[in-house]
Amino acid sequence: AQSVSQHNHHVILSEAASLELGCNYSYGGTVNLFWYVQYPGQHLQLLLKYFSGDPLVKGIKGFEAEFIKSKFSFNLRKPSVQWSDTAEYFCAVKWYSNTGKLIFGQGTTLQVKP
């Protein structure tokens, strides 16, 4: 079955530290890839997405992600986190073969200490 796995469930960082959150998906052909963020008490928002082309994509608020097809990975990065980045982050994958459903990972809670 198609699945998405996020390696880190809970990450704690100090401000200005670098961030990398892992995301892997099961093999299943052509994919679209997404990272969503949910700030405390708010709805899910799209951080960035990959459809095709340059595998390094830039999103809002200084986030970026790199699609490595050979590793079925789409890791999220930010060079220097801020306290306001405290949130839950979800990786999601849409396979062309499954009629457009988004499959989500389990989520990673990021806590940034001031």
Partner 1 sequence: DVKVTQSSRYLVKRTGEKVFLECVQDMDHENMFWYRQDPGLGLRLIYFSYDVKMKEKGDIPEGYSVSREKKERFSLILESASTNQTSMYLCASSPQGIYGYTFGSGTRLTVV
Query: Hey, what amino acid is at 33?
Result: L
68-87 footprint of partner 1 as x/- string (CB under 8 A): --------------------
Measure the CA–CA gap between 31 and 67, rounded to whole angstroms: 10
Out of 12, 14, 18, 51, the only residue in the binding site for partner 1 (CB under 8 A) is 51
Instruction: Mention every residue, 6+ apart, whose C-beta is less than 8 A from residue 48.
Output: 34, 35, 57, 58, 59, 60, 63, 64, 65, 76
In terms of CB distance, is 72 or 104 closer to partner 1? 104
Report the nearest approach of partner 1 to the CB of residue 55 (Å).
16
Report the nearest approach of partner 1 to the CB of residue 82 (Å).
23
